[in-house]
Amino acid sequence: MSRKTYERFKIKQEKVKALTVTVVKANHVAEAFWNNLLKPKPDPYVMLRIRTSPNSMQQTTVKSNAYDPVWNESFTFYLNDDKKNTLELTMQDSDIGKDDLMGTKQLELDDLEVDKEITKVLNIDE
C-alpha cells in the first residue's frame, strides 16, 4: 500500500487594481540639443516603472531616428491599493553600448478615478 502524496499550497487572493498606460507619442525629442551637437537623430524609447507593482518594469519599442516618435503602445500594471503608487517614466536614446538618459518624470497614481481615462502631457526633458 503506497502512501498518497500531498502538496501544500498557500493561496491568498488580494484586491488589486489594473492600471493601463498608453504611451502615445512624443514631439521634438531633444531636438535643439541634438541639432547643436550635429549628432544623428535620437532613437527614443520609454521605460515605465511602478516600484510597488509586481510587474514593475515595462518599456516601449525603440523608434529609430525620430524626433517625433509615435508609439501607441499600451501596458498594464497591477497595483496594490494599499500602497502609494507612482509611475516613473524615463525616456532614453538607444545606442550601441550604453543608452543615454533623455529625461524622466514621475506621476502620482493615487488621485486617479477608477474607470476614467485621462490624457496627460508631460514635459519629460525639463
> In the complex, which residues of this chain contact Ca ion (CB under 5 A)?
43, 93, 95
CB of 64 to Ca ion, least distance (A): 8
Can you tell me the distance from the alpha carbon of 18 to that of 55, in angstroms, rounded to the nearest whole number?
11
**Contact indicator for 85, 52 with CB cutoff of 8 Å:** yes
Read off the C-alpha cell for 12: 491568498
Q: Which is nearer to Ca ion, 42 or 87 (CB)?
A: 42
CB of 50 to Ca ion, least distance (A): 26
Q: Which is nearer to Ca ion, 62 or 107 (CB)?
A: 62
CB of 93 to Ca ion, least distance (A): 5
Phi, psi for residue 43 in degrees, rounded to 5: -120, 75
**Contact indicator for 59, 92 with CB cutoff of 8 Å:** no
Q: Which is nearer to Ca ion, 68 or 95 (CB)?
A: 95
